A = this chain, B = another copy of it.
Amino acid sequence: MSNDNSTAILLLSCPDRKGLVSEISYFVSNNGGNITDLDEYVDQEEKVFFIRIAWDMKDFRIAADKLHETFTPLANKFNADWEINYSNVKPRLAVFVSKYDHCLQEVLWRHKIGEFKTDIAAVISNHPDLESLAEHYSAPFYHFPIAKENKAEQEKKEIELLYELKVDAIILARYMQILSNKFVAEFPNRIINIHHSFLPAFIGGNPYKQAYERGVKIIGATSHFVTDNLDEGPIIVQDIIPISHRDSTKDLVRKGRDLERLVLAKAIHYYLEHRVLVHRGKTIIFA
């Protein structure tokens, strides 16, 4: 891997103290890097420091494959959680779906036109319905039927496949199964779901019906990381659209589709550009 034409992106959080920006930015510039983007945030209540810093790898004197090792002493000194990614290394995604096509369609299309810098390692489904859509976009399709009695076994196979395919993150694109805690624990903060309500309103099943019955004047969608607690993971993106008394549950489903597609796409976009940090059940988005 050449440094040329690449940008390094460091995401780091640690207890706040003086001199953090100075020491980190010195590390970059002292090694010949030119910072192109830097965003920093300090949680004043908890005294935690968060930073996203991107620099041009051209002329940077540390090779990408040595950088992790070289930066480790500084990170250890700060007692930091951190990762470095490179703009020319594409994250690998697996997309989980059931029967609804709109979110999968959106992800595959954005990948195809070059908007999502990613490799679609797999489309995984508990139903065969969307195989032809995956094929149309040349994405490998895997069918894992899930029933009560084989769920644990199937999830085990899915996990093996995901490791084999070196998947970085999993997108639940309206996947109608609840993942077991065991599965979720394998991919902490790496499973992105789209829920069709403005959480925490309308947790659980059929949120459009719940919204219709409550008579709300807006409906929403929420993209979040999956945790053990259903619909309670760290929120990445939310948005809403106005509705009226004229909208039936069916209208909400139709209007909500557009929202779901765009909210999920925005969350994936942030993830792929390494703009998301998770801290104590919430996200910091360096947008």
A246, chain B: closest CB distance, angstroms: 6
| A238: min CB distance to chain B, Å | 4
Q: What is A's interface to B at a CB cutoff of 8 Å?
A: 16-23, 25-26, 28-30, 32-42, 44-45, 101-102, 105, 109, 113, 115, 136, 198-202, 214-218, 220, 234-240, 244-246, 248, 254, 258, 262, 265, 281-285, 287
Contact in complex: B41, A283 (CB < 8 Å): no
Residue from the set A42, A199, A215 with the largest chain B CB neighbour count within 10 Å:
A215
Number of copies of this protein chain within its complex = 4
The complex places the Cα of A238 from the Cα of B198 at a distance, in Å, of 13
Max chain B Cβ within 10 angstroms of own Cβ: one of A216, A217, A265, A287: A217
Closest chain-B Cβ to A39's Cβ sits at a distance in Å of 6
List of B residues within 8 angstroms of A105 by Cβ: 109
Indicate if the CB atoms of A218 and B240 lie closer than 8 Å.
yes
Q: Contacts A101-B113, A216-B235, A216-B238: A38 and B21 contacting too (C-beta < 8 A)?
A: yes
How many angstroms from the CA of A25 to the CA of B32 in the assembled complex? 17
Report which of B22, B214, B235 forms a contact with A215, defined as CB distance below 8 A.
B235
Question: Is B215's CB under 8 angstroms from A238's CB?
Answer: no
Q: Which residues from chain B contact A39 at a C-beta distance below 8 Å?
A: 38-40
Tell me the complex Cα distance, A22–B28, Å.
Answer: 8
Residue in chain B with minimal CB distance to A17 = B34
| Chain B, Cβ-Cβ closest to A259 | B262
Picked from B23, B29, B239, B285, the residue with its CB within 8 Å of the CB of A18 is B29
Separation of A221 and B193 alpha carbons in the complex (Å): 26
